[in-house]
Structure 1
Amino acid sequence: MEHKTYHTIIFDLGAVLVDWNPRYLYKKIFTDEKEMEHFLANVCTSDWNEEQDGGRRLQEATDLLVAQHPTFETQIRAFYGRWPEMLNGALEGTVEIFRQLNESGKYKIYALTNWSDETFPIAMEIYPFFKWFDGILVSGTEKMRKPHAAFYQLLLDRFSIDAKHAIFIDDNLRNVKAAEDFGIESIHFTSPEALETVLKEKQIL
């Protein structure tokens, strides 16, 4: 069987190359895990956070929630006030895969990330391997985000990517399905080990 040729690898960042989780912060703030989970499910929700990924200002987002949930003001303000505490280092196994792909010289490698443009510069300082990418598209800067088709189209246009020879890696199944619907072959990331297996099967690694 003839293997498809790949020219472009596209990585998501959070939970693929970077271990980001608000629980790393909120486990320090809440003594009761059930209270913490209730807070993250009902106050500082993922839907709320995604609005910042789409370009909403952090101050505006914080003030909005404080007005809605004044009893949680301290906890809400911690979300961005102590945001770096949500980072728990790099996912070293994936970084090693990225290094091998990068050093092979065979591929253009890009990042497509849902990330606030106000917090992304902090991560750029912390993670030197972000500089290995040939280009990074940050949702907060572009005011659009995954899983919207326009964001995938912008990636292809900005970096002159041929979708037929590209593969996209993301931990969020919603984003994977959206990319596939758009015509970009995708891998649902579950672990560095599983990713390595798939990339070897496709003769990418």
Structure 2
Amino acid sequence: MQKPANSIFIIFTPMINTIIFDLGAVLIDWNPHYMYRTIFNDEEEMKNFLATVTTSDWNEEQDAGRSLAEGTEILVKQFPEHEENIRAFYTRWDEMLGEAFHDTVEIFKELKESGRYKIYALTNWSAETFPVALERFEFLHWFDGIVVSGAEKMRKPAPEFYQVLLDRHEVKAEEALFIDDNYRNILAAEKMGIKSIHFTSASELKEKLTELEVF
């Protein structure tokens, strides 16, 4: 009796042909402390103001499309005693914008120059303040496309926001690699089948890209 031939199963792993970068804390340094340190003399008082008045949750509403004017007026009504400092958040927003993270930009540049990938940005950012960054950072013009939350009226980690980029630029989730410093956003991308790297430093990013044979 003839023995059955051994079966060989070959699993094909889709090749990564698209890289999606977050911007803030990955490629660009943004921190309200830079501006508010010129207003507050006491560091703890400043931190308390940012933690209880101009909170991250409040700022994310502007990232999701609420106008800066509306967001400001809501907060002034809630905290009238802090009106001047609240209004400074957006009238002096450009002072919160730091430098580029040059080591990460260099990685981006090498990936771009390799010619192997389409490279996009998916960012939680107000549509009203993003033009300031576009003017300041030349490397933002290297992307094949940028999807800005404020313009789309939605933000990470909403799956619909990731889908906007995938649909608009005809990207297959299984062929993309997503890089973000916020683990919440990483989990959301992975649930959609997008391979992801949780960004902590440029050196670690380079190691992980090398492990994936992307770099």
Same fold per superposition (TM over 0.5):
yes
Per-residue Cα deviation, 1:7-49 (whole angstroms, up to 9, x for no partner):
0000000010000111111112111111111111110000000
Partner residue of 1:141? 151
Q: Is the 8 A contact 2:157 2:184 kept in 1?
A: yes
Q: CA deviation at 1:3?
A: 7.2
Q: Do 2:30 and 2:96's aligned partners in 1 also have CA atoms closer than 8 Å?
A: yes
Judge which range, 9-18 or 178-187, deviates more.
178-187
Pairing partner for 1:92 from 93, 102, 121:
102
**What do residues 149-199 of structure 1 show as CA deviations (whole Å, max 9, x unaligned)?**
100111110000011110000001111111111111111111111111111
Cα deviation digits, residues 114-155 of structure 1 (max 9, x gap): 000000011000001000000000000010110001001111
Higher-helix-fraction structure: 1
Matched residue SS, 2:200? coil
Check whether the contact 2:14–2:174 (CA below 8 A) recurs between aligned residues: no
Identity %: 62
TM-score computed with the length of structure 1 as normaliser: 0.97
- 1:106 correspondence with 2:100: no
Counterpart selection for 1:26 from 27, 36, 40: 36
Match of 1:180 in 2: 190
Flag as ranges the 4+ runs of structure 1 deviating above 3 A. none
Q: Which residue of 1 aligns with 2:24?
A: 14
2-side partners of 1:41 and 1:4: how far apart? 43
Aligned residue pairs total 205
Aligned to 1:88, the other structure's residue is in SS state: strand
Secondary structure of 2:37's partner? helix
Give structure 1 stretches of 5+ with no counterpart: none
